[in-house]
């Protein structure tokens, strides 16, 4: 007992300061891929290398065969880096990880390319930019700190639902309870029963065997409730896709309020998504608890 106490005093505080201070990811971290459209020629190399078809290159329309649309869906992206390997001149993986959004459409980035006189395709215009432009890390941290001060005077209870994942996301979710991330400092607790939950944190593609269980869990959760889809599999099926054994993303079974991209998302990305979800928590629920 005294040895443990002595070791704890010697170690000191290890909990990070997120979201007030957003630290740099560790070396080798693979975050949001970015395409340099000025160097891109819509050559299909990245699309062919992508294992989840998160990147596609298609003709704009039959009548406009001299134009191509390059699409990058961050919801389907597993951040494997194969696109960067296939085309290092135009694609690079960054350290950005705060990609959570309340709208699935905001995870899609598109650009139009037109065929030049030389026969190559050149960048024309950005059709859709995703995720939406974010503030600097310090500004984001300050905004989230203000959000916490405003909304976390109450406790939030989360029920985690594994709808068929590989358990990669579960490892990161478990890390939220360790001394480094200490999610309970925000008044957030994980519960065993959906009847005690305010939020459902769902991972994995929804397997056919878990479809009914997920529906029943959703129905058992008292309203108003928030549903968060964690990881590429929960957003669109990931590498498993949609098949005889999988329904695909969580939103094919129950409504989803927030999407957190990643494979798996790191703990800070999960915290960012949970805070974003709490910002959407119905005002009438907050008012009844004040």
Q: Is residue 103 part of a domain?
A: yes
Within this chain, do residues 144 and 73 fall inside the same structural domain, yes or no? no
Choose one of 128, 152, 170: the last residue of a domain. Answer: 128
Q: Is residue 86 part of a domain?
A: yes
Choose one of 104, 128, 152: the last residue of a domain. Answer: 128
Within this chain, do residues 115 and 153 fall inside the same structural domain, yes or no? no
Count of structural domains within the chain: 2
pLDDT of residue 132: 64
Q: What CATH number is attached to the domain comprising 46?
A: 3.30.70.3270
Within this chain, do residues 161 and 271 fall inside the same structural domain, yes or no? yes
- Please compute the mean of the pLDDT values over residues 9-37 and round it to a whole number: 80
Within this chain, do residues 88 and 176 fall inside the same structural domain, yes or no? no
Q: Is residue 277 part of a domain?
A: yes
Element (H, E) at 57: strand 55-61
Higher pLDDT, 26 or 70: 70
Residue 110, domain extent: 33-128
> What's the predicted TM-score (pTM) here?
0.86
pLDDT of residue 285: 47
- Please compute the mean of the pLDDT values over residues 239-246 and round it to a whole number: 90
Q: Is the pLDDT of residue 251 over 60?
A: yes
Q: Is residue 24 part of a domain?
A: no
Q: Is residue 191 part of a domain?
A: yes
Asked if residue 199 lies in contact with residue 274, where contact means CB atoms within 8 angstroms, the answer is yes
Q: d(Cα 66, Cα 47) in Å, to the nearest integer?
A: 19
Place 24 in a pLDDT band, splitting at 50, 70 and 90: confident
In this structure, of 27-36, 80-89, 133-142, 262-271, the range with the lowest mean pLDDT score is: 133-142
Within this chain, do residues 258 and 146 fall inside the same structural domain, yes or no? yes
Cα distance between the two ends of the chain: 41
- The tens digit of pLDDT for each residue in 154-206 reads 678 999 999 999 999 999 999 999 988 888 888 888 999 999 998 999 999 99
Three-class DSSP category at 273 = helix
Average pLDDT, the chain: 85
Q: Is residue 8 part of a domain?
A: no
pLDDT of residue 3: 74
Asked if residue 233 lies in contact with residue 165, where contact means CB atoms within 8 angstroms, the answer is yes
Q: Is residue 41 part of a domain?
A: yes
Q: Is the pLDDT of residue 287 over 50?
A: no
Place 137 in a pLDDT band, splitting at 50, 70 and 90: very low
pLDDT of residue 275: 82
Asked if residue 263 lies in contact with residue 78, where contact means CB atoms within 8 angstroms, the answer is yes
DSSP structure class, residue 199: E
Within this chain, do residues 61 and 145 fall inside the same structural domain, yes or no? no
Within this chain, do residues 155 and 285 fall inside the same structural domain, yes or no? yes
Choose one of 108, 128, 148: the last residue of a domain. Answer: 128
Which of 26-35, 173-182, 202-211, 273-282 is modeled with the greatest confidence?
Answer: 202-211
- Please compute the mean of the pLDDT values over residues 115-125 and round it to a whole number: 86
Q: d(Cα 123, Cα 191) in Å, to the nearest integer?
A: 50
Q: Is the pLDDT of residue 236 over 90?
A: yes
- The tens digit of pLDDT for each residue in 255-275 reads 999 999 999 999 989 988 888
Phi, psi of 130 (to 5 degrees): -145, 150
* Side-chain half-sphere exposure of 163, counting CA atoms within 13 A: 40
pLDDT of residue 145: 58
Within this chain, do residues 192 and 258 fall inside the same structural domain, yes or no? yes
Within this chain, do residues 72 and 215 fall inside the same structural domain, yes or no? no
Within this chain, do residues 186 and 274 fall inside the same structural domain, yes or no? yes
Q: Is the pLDDT of residue 290 over 60?
A: no
Higher pLDDT, 179 or 13: 179
pLDDT of residue 184: 86
pLDDT of residue 66: 85
Within this chain, do residues 148 and 200 fall inside the same structural domain, yes or no? yes
């Amino acid at each position: 007992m005294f040895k443990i106490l002595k070791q704890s005093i010697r170690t000191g505080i290890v909990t990070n300061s997120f979201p007030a201070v957003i630290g740099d990811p560790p070396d080798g971290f693979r975050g949001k891929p970015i395409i340099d459209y000025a160097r891109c020629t819509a050559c299909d190399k990245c699309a062919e290398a992508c294992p989840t078809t998160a990147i596609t290159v298609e003709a704009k329309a039959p009548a406009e065969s001299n134009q191509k649309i390059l699409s990058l869906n961050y919801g389907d992206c597993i951040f494997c880096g194969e696109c960067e390997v296939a085309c290092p001149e135009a694609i690079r993986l960054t350290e950005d990880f705060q990609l959570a959004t309340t709208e699935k459409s905001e995870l899609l980035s598109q650009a139009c390319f037109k065929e030049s006189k030389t026969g190559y395709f050149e960048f024309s215009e950005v059709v859709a930019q995703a995720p939406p432009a974010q503030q600097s890390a310090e500004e984001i941290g300050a905004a989230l700190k203000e959000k916490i001060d405003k909304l976390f005077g109450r406790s939030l209870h989360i029920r985690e639902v594994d709808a068929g994942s590989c358990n990669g996301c579960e490892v990161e979710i478990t890390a939220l309870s360790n001394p480094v991330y200490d999610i309970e400092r925000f008044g957030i607790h994980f519960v065993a029963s959906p009847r005690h939950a305010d939020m459902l944190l769902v991972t994995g593609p929804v397997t056919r065997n878990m479809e009914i269980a997920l529906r029943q869990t959703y129905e058992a959760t008292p309203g108003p409730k928030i549903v968060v889809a964690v990881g590429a599999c929960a957003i669109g099926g990931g590498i498993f896709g949609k098949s005889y054994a999988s329904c695909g993303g969580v939103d094919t079974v129950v409504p989803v309020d927030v999407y957190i991209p990643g494979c798996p998302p790191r703990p800070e990305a999960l915290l960012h998504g949970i805070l974003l979800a709490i910002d959407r928590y119905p005002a009438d629920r907050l008012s009844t608890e004040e």
